[in-house]
Amino acid sequence: MNGLVEISDPGIANSLQDLGRVGYRHMGIAVSGCLDPLLARCANALVGNPSGCACIEVRAAGPALTVRQGRVRVALTGALTATLVRSGGDERDVPPWQSVSLDPGDALRVGFAAGGAAYVAISGGFETPLQLGSRSTYRRAEIGEPVALGMRIPCAALPHKGAHEYSACPWRHDEGPIRVMLGPQDDHFKPEAIAVLLSGDYAVTAQSDRMGMRLEGPALAHLTPASADIVSDGTTLGAIQVPGNGLPIILLADCQTAGGYPKIATVIGADLPRLAQLRPGQSIRFLAIDAREARQALQALETRWKWWAYGVVHGMPGAEIDKDWRAGWPLYQDGWCQDE
Amino acid sequence: METTDSLDALRLLPLGDAAWTVEFGARIDPALHGRVLGLLEAAERIRKEDAFAGIVDLVPTFRSLTVCYDPLLCDGERLGQTLLSLARTTGAVRRDGRHWHLPVCFDDDFAPDLDDLAQTKGLSRETVIERLLGATFRVYMIGFMPGFPYMGGLPEALEMPRLKSPRKAVPARSLAVAGAMCAVYPWESPGGWRLLGRTPIPLFSARDALSPALLTSGDRVSWRAVGRDEFTDLEAAASSGGLKRDSLLIGENPS
């Protein structure tokens, strides 16, 4: 049997995202996908899904879902909690990093994302129609579906009532400066501009969305005023473009496929998910590394993800979730989730 | 001469750890663009024939080809060298597309930068419009956002750089210029180009699953001025699906 959930409250600015829409950039179609693919992969793992299933990305007030059909499993990742309202009226809190199963009539009221992007995964994924190979919402071009009131989304139902729940330690992103590779247009800047980028303290501004993150801080001087304009060329996620005012903009998942501002540097793939966790006002610093180091960082991240996934515990009986989740379940006693 | 120039300017630029930009030059020029299309075809063949090449996206522009790859699936350095040697040896390709005659309205609220551009260039508003209508634009690439056509062919007298601080919201279907380029924003979007008018014709329609973008690389575009009434009529016809794309072509019989 299939599961079916209904959006009973759309929340604010929530979107359906998977790992993105690759292969269409030549038509000007953004890659989209989760701003923090690591947290989305974790959320999927916590409901037993492969990494590519669509999740709801929450960046402000989360949505509310009501189960209409089937027993379904959901999990939250990131700085996000929810309230589970059983069809009988009982309520309990749902913390992130563990799954919970819902029966028809049960509702999940997702709270406010207190950090950066956070995710809600569901068994089988939110199965909205595929558009150009992906379920990712790309609002600027009305591709993919927005999370709207009354929308009914199919998912997978769990086979039987005695389903066990999944849990894991919270994923921890790397710390330290955001790593970049210089270029492709670092030669459009004065040498001191590179030094300023790599030593300056920048702050994320409120003028940030899924397309890009505008930064505030020391202006970066172009070589000449004419160097602030280029004949448009290809862009990608993480590219740091600098318009005439000298203030950098980091391109994110919904970014344009080509653009005419020179790109002084590009954030490496391993650090893109970290950008999704920065909120307006937070500071950001950059470190330049080379291609070999970038590759090592990405491989290390994938290894760490595998270790995290091996640590997903599958075993808490489903009924336990309605008792106090800390009492009587040794995994959740204080001190279990330590730093590595 | 042209070929030598392009080869001298050839550069392989890293766009982070998951993309290369092969740059043939810095100009908007049909010959340069032909070389981009030549490399595009060669790279498309590699993608088709070698599943482990790791190529995930190919983005041609006026003067460069951006090749996005999966850095865990392939050796990025080796892919870069392969692209560079292909760029040296692959010839130019020419695509000649269709010729569109698209309506544009120059009313004040559609053209917030028209007076400023005219003043800066020492031209009258009417002369700027006349020059725009007299030019034939060539579509070099679709990019920036779905269906956004980058067109060359703007008369030199109208060239101006982008705005220093981009607008947070450019209205959909704005006709815009920057440098030697002309474009139309298919969607509301942030943008730094100068807005000179608005067309009622949608440049992208997800309803048309086979060719969602109206224009493709190699097409030509001429503009014709329309008043507010015709603009409104065409806009209504387009949004109800009652406007045939073929009716906007020059020199082709509507099928």
Q: Where are the domains of chain A?
A: 2-168+313-331, 178-297
Please identify, among B67, B89, B111, the residue that sits at the C-terminal boundary of a domain.
B89
Say yes or no: B83 and B108 in one domain.
no
Say yes or no: B59 and B141 in one domain.
no
Say yes or no: B110 and B41 in one domain.
no
- Among the partner-chain residues B27, B57, B189, the one whose CB lies closest to the CB of A23 is B57
Say yes or no: B175 and B232 in one domain.
yes
- Among the partner-chain residues B13, B56, B144, the one whose CB lies closest to the CB of A256 is B144
Task: Kindly determine whether residue A234 and residue B189, on different chains, have CB atoms separated by under 8 Å.
Answer: no
B32 in a structural domain = yes
Task: Kindly determine whether residue B57 and residue A207, on different chains, have CB atoms separated by under 8 Å.
Answer: no
CB A49 within 8 A of CB A74: no
pLDDT value of position B187: 87
Helices vs. strands in chain B: H and E counts, helices first: 6, 13
B188 in a structural domain = yes
Write out chain B residues lying below 8 Å of A300, CB-based. Answer: none
Say yes or no: B184 and B84 in one domain.
no
- Among the partner-chain residues A23, A28, A239, the one whose CB lies closest to the CB of B56 is A23
Mention every residue, 6+ apart, whose C-beta is less than 8 A from residue B34.
B92, B93, B94
Closest-CA residue of chain A to B216: A27
B76 in a structural domain = yes
Say yes or no: B193 and B83 in one domain.
no
B254 in a structural domain = no
Task: Kindly determine whether residue A183 and residue B15, on different chains, have CB atoms separated by under 8 Å.
Answer: yes
Say yes or no: B48 and B123 in one domain.
no
Q: Is the pTM of this model over 0.80?
A: yes
CATH number of B196's domain: 2.40.100.10
Distance from CA of A269 to the nearest CA of B (A): 7
pLDDT value of position A317: 59
Say yes or no: B164 and B213 in one domain.
yes
Range of the domain at B28: 2-89
CB A208 within 8 A of CB A255: no
Distance from CA of B113 to the nearest CA of A (A): 18
Kindly give the confidence (pLDDT) of every residue in chain A, 340 residues in length, as a single tens digit, with 9 standing for 90 and above: 699 999 999 999 999 999 999 988 988 999 999 999 999 999 999 999 999 999 999 999 999 999 999 999 999 999 999 999 999 999 999 999 999 999 999 999 999 999 999 999 999 999 999 988 899 999 878 888 889 999 999 999 988 666 689 999 999 999 999 999 999 999 999 999 999 999 999 999 999 999 999 999 999 999 999 999 898 899 999 999 999 999 999 999 999 999 989 999 999 999 999 999 999 999 999 999 999 999 999 999 999 999 999 999 887 655 555 554 444 444 433 333 443 3
Distance from CA of A214 to the nearest CA of B (A): 11
Distance from CA of B126 to the nearest CA of A (A): 27
**Bridge partners (DSSP) listed for residue A92:** A84
B83 in a structural domain = yes
Task: Kindly determine whether residue B192 and residue A26, on different chains, have CB atoms separated by under 8 Å.
Answer: no
Nearest to A57 by CA among A17, A21, A30: A17
CB pairs under 8 A between A and B: 179
Give the number of domains in chain B: 2
Task: Kindly determine whether residue A243 and residue B166, on different chains, have CB atoms separated by under 8 Å.
Answer: yes
Distance from CA of A263 to the nearest CA of B (A): 9
Write out chain B residues lying below 8 Å of A268, CB-based. Answer: 16-17
Q: What is the mean pLDDT of residues B24-35?
A: 89
pLDDT value of position A232: 87
CATH number of B74's domain: 3.30.1360.40
Q: Which CATH architecture has domain A178-297?
A: Beta Barrel (2.40)
Say yes or no: B110 and B82 in one domain.
no
B253 in a structural domain = no
CA angle A116–A206–A40, rounded 5-degree value: 20
ipTM score of complex? 0.90
- Among the partner-chain residues B27, B71, B146, the one whose CB lies closest to the CB of A27 is B146
Say yes or no: B23 and B136 in one domain.
no
Cα separation, A111 vs A121, whole angstroms: 14
CA-based torsion, A316, A317, A322, A328: positive or negative: negative
Distance from CA of B211 to the nearest CA of A (A): 10
pLDDT value of position A161: 63
- Among the partner-chain residues B15, B27, B165, the one whose CB lies closest to the CB of A184 is B15
DSSP A187: G
Say yes or no: B189 and B234 in one domain.
yes
Write out chain B residues lying below 8 Å of A263, CB-based. Answer: 15
